[in-house]
Structure 1
Amino acid sequence: MEPSRVQGTGADTGAAARITGTTRLYAVLGDPVAQVRAPALLNPVFARLGEDAVLVPVEVPADGLADAVRALTAVRNLDGLLVTVPHKAACRDLAESVTPAAALSGSVNALRRLPGGGWEGANFDGEGFVRGLRAAGREPRGTTVCLAGAGGAGSAIAVALLRAGARVTVWDADAARAARLADRLAPHFPDRVTAARGHRDADLAVNATPAGLRAEDPLPFDPAALRPGTLVADIIMKPRETALLRAARAAGCAIQYGEPMLAEQIALYQEFFRLG
């Protein structure tokens, strides 16, 4: 693969997809889907690998998700699904089997067909996030992390950071959800995960909530309360520079954009879907 092409803005999309009767289908499920970057990153990968395949966004409301997945299961030339907000936890429950990391996080962001029917789920958000940190020269081992968001992406990021040796404090607008995540992970990572709202001493503060997708969204936390130089990471990809990241820069914090988390997952998707 060509990392400089994969990690671009999506403007360089390679050869235009040619849809034929033999084209294999992939879909990314979300609500909304206008912000998704996966098609712009993965369709050029299909082209470079010589795969007769295309990834398209599919907007599905939460109350129609189970019916949509059931219908897509009947589409015989559909080989895989990517999953974005708000469906990651629900899709874990729709999978017949999941990888160990997905089982720990309780969420999936990718589904592939099982040979006997149904879906196998995995979640690469966390590994992609950690790889993005390391690509930027930030090693999470030994760091103190405040993580906003205990949903699908947040839970996967918590698992990956803990596996990488970080200490994680997670909080969520739904305090009970954050507590459930911390309780589920604590036996696997003793004394390194807790549920609390507090980030003053963090080395890394992460927004893994949808706050920032819309201009009117409130900040998920106040970067001015952080120590100068703290790294603030936002997993939102559109807009690229969210209100949180602008406020973090103004407060003297380092920042990390959302797209590296997805760009670093491309190789993981390629292996999971057996591409190339």
Structure 2
Amino acid sequence: MASRGGVTVSGTTRLYVVLGDPVAQVQSPGLLNPLFAELGVDAVLVPVLAEPAHLERIVAGLRCAGNLDGIFVTVPHKAAVAGLADRCSPMVEITGSANALRREAGGRWYAENFDGTGFVAGLAAAGHDPRAQRVTLVGAGGAGSAIAAALLAAGAARLAVCDPDTAKLTALRARLDAHWPGRTVTSAGPDTAGAGIVVNATPLGLRPGDPLPFRPADLSPGCVVADIIMKPRETRLLREAAALGFRVHCGIHMLAGQLASYRAFFGLG
């Protein structure tokens, strides 16, 4: 029996993993492992570095691990892992991406996506309700697509989704329009004019030398600048936006907003 960070690991411990490339920035073990301990759940969450070329083999191998109950997913695998699940939730069908998989009877994997609902919950808890707002979302990848759907479900009046991958944008807009017709516009470059909330849902900011996803100097007065990157907590984007007087919203709020959903999804009590 071993203990690390207050979490006791033994032969009866159930396993959860978070898959990503990179994984040095993941914050979920620091939140979920204390939650397991608090709830008296004999489980541990560990990060697994999964290069894209190896993702399918890694997921197939994890399927064979009899004491593995769940998989969390971070960049860049959220869209790819949705295609490896046996069943998908309606949110995954809309967004085309997943950030959590639960083992079901017979070893089947059920995929869900809590990025969007977690982001919106964190945004609202910080006093930045997107209802009736014009929102710009930069990045239409796995997390961005989920956030787009959640923002529209939460009542955003107009959503501008921006990504240089036009094929990805076209497919996402078609899925969003099927549920919330006429409220989404798309563009290859950032469309921030008149937005009350602007969100970075790209990986830009994970590394010190990354360029900015958009220019804070171009934003409208009073705009809220949000980033989904969790480490570093204060990205270059947020630092520069705050220096210009904009209100900023850091990425850890998105994960904190997901905790209740994870508890229910994995039956943690």
Give the TM-score category using the shorter length. Answer: over 0.9
Deviation at 1:262, TM superposition (A): 0.2
**How far does residue 185 in structure 1 lie from its aligned partner after superposition?**
1.1
Q: Work out whether residues 227 and 253 of structure 1, in 8 Å CA contact, stay in contact via their aligned partners in 2.
A: no
Greater than 3 Å deviation, 4+ residue runs = none
Partner of 2:202: 209
Indicate the residue corresponding to 1:182 in structure 2: 173
Contact 1:228–1:251, Cα closer than 8 Å, also in 2: no
1:91 is aligned, of 54, 77, 81, to 81
The alignment status of 1:268 with 2:261, answered yes or no, reads: yes
Query: What does residue 79 of structure 1 align with?
Result: 69
After superposition, where does 1:1-276 map in structure 2 within 5 Å? 16-166=6-156, 167-196=158-187, 197=189, 198-276=191-269
Unaligned runs of 5+ in 2: none
Q: Which amino acid aligns with 1:20?
A: S
| Identity between Structure 1 and Structure 2 (%) | 57
SS at match of 1:213: coil
Q: How many residues align?
A: 263
**Any idea what SS the aligned residue of 2:161 has?**
strand
User: Does the Cα contact within 8 Å between 1:66 and 1:94 map onto a contact in 2?
Assistant: yes
| 1:83-122 alpha-carbon deviations (Å, 9 max, x no partner) | 0000000010001111111110100000001212220000
Per the TM alignment, residue 15 of structure 1 is displaced from its structure 2 partner at its CA by 6.3
Give the whole-Å Cα distance in 1 for the aligned partners of 2:15 and 2:175: 35
TM-score (norm 1): 0.93
Distance 1:76 1:225 in 2: 52
8 Å contact 1:28–1:55 — kept in the other structure?
yes
Q: 2:7 is paired with a residue of what secondary structure?
A: coil
- Residue aligned with 2:195, SS: coil
**Structure 1: gaps spanning 5 or more residues:** 1-13
Separation in structure 2 between the aligned mates of residue 71 and residue 249 of structure 1, nearest angstrom: 45
Partner of 2:18, secondary structure, is strand
